[in-house]
Amino acid sequence: MITNLAKFGLLFAILDCASSYAFAEERILPVLDEPIQPIPFDSSLDPAKVALGEALFNDPRLSKNNSLSCASCHILEAGGDDNMTIGTTINGVPHVINTPTVFNARYNFRQHWNGAAESLPEQVDLVLRNHMEAGSNWNELLTKLSQDAVLVSSFNEIYAEGLTRENYLDALNTFERSLITPNSRFDQYLLGNKAAITEDEKKGYERFKEYGCISCHQGINIGGNLFQKFGLFYDYFAERGNITTADYGRINVTNKESDLHVFKVPGLRNVEVTAPYLHDGQAETLQEAVDIMGKTQLGKTISEADIELLVMFLKTLTGEYMGQSLAAKGHTIAGANHGSDTSAKQGSTDDESSLASSGGNGS
């Protein structure tokens, strides 16, 4: 049974993102009628653009000092994020926010925790120009890349105009759109394989719906398609303390008081391998994250038994990349190098303000 809160949130999500997606031609019709849809297999992307975009994704010349590439923060072997509490920056100092995964980012209706970017290309543009991330600009980047004869030749083979800002973004965007993780066990279940998940995992999914988690986490990406206030029923920030500009959320973009502590709801696919969790990276385990979300978003203290069932379900959402399950790649939280004090990890007020306006690190 889905709660009234869940029904309202689900309706809002459907209405809010109906005009944001253009993937109808790619969808798979699941056997089971559920609020979650399986990830489609997409064979429509140009392989040459994907290959060129992959080279750009791994090219540290994106950054001013040639030290950071997209892959520096979005490690495909580690869940598409960096497994750090708070990411790193071009200056080698801690970032101000947790790095989201780049996997399945194409299905997000906005990019960044605060939704500052409306598309993947816009997200790249913001990262390029942010002084804590790439710290560069288009003239500087294109000048550097134009000196690479092999790269220029690759652009000329694919694009009539060769190496331009628009073509750079198109190639990189094409690669990022290829970063999908289909064929999770839960997707297999939705497509009719009832044996794909265990009875306890099915119970976990039922709890997921009964508690109302489904109100914000549904659709293809099981989230990523609406904004929500963090702390509807419990003041997380008052308990944690050390409030930073990044904690203000979407108000940093809109300047609307109603957007204080509002964030894009993260997708839950591959959540098994993207710890630590929350925008501040303060939940090191799924159990901690579920407990916090129960208090802050549902106004409930979830029992340990139900937390374990929910975690079992969440682990069925781990998909495959390049034919291999992400769960097989292993996972290590690398946030210990930043210590446990939130204020120490999140840098100066000036750095926070700059990152807050652009939305922070990654997708």
Catalytic residue among 54, 133, 272, 352: 133
Is 201 annotated in the active site? Answer: no
State the number of CA atoms in the 13 A half-sphere of 170 facing the CB: 15
Cα 339 from Cα 207, distance rounded (Å):
34
Judge whether 186 and 36 are in contact, CB under 8 Å.
Answer: yes
Q: Cα 145 to chain center, whole Å?
A: 28
Can you spell out the DSSP letters for 4-31? HHHHHHHHHHHHHHTTT---GGG----S
Tokens representing 121 are: 């290309």
Judge whether 186 and 285 are in contact, CB under 8 Å.
Answer: no
Of 147, 172, 171, 174, nearest in space to 157 by CA: 171
Q: Cα 211 to chain center, whole Å?
A: 23
Residue type, 243: I
Cα 154 from Cα 156, distance rounded (Å):
5
- Burial (CB < 10 A; 0-12, 13-18, 19+), residue 134, is buried
Active-site amino acid positions: 133
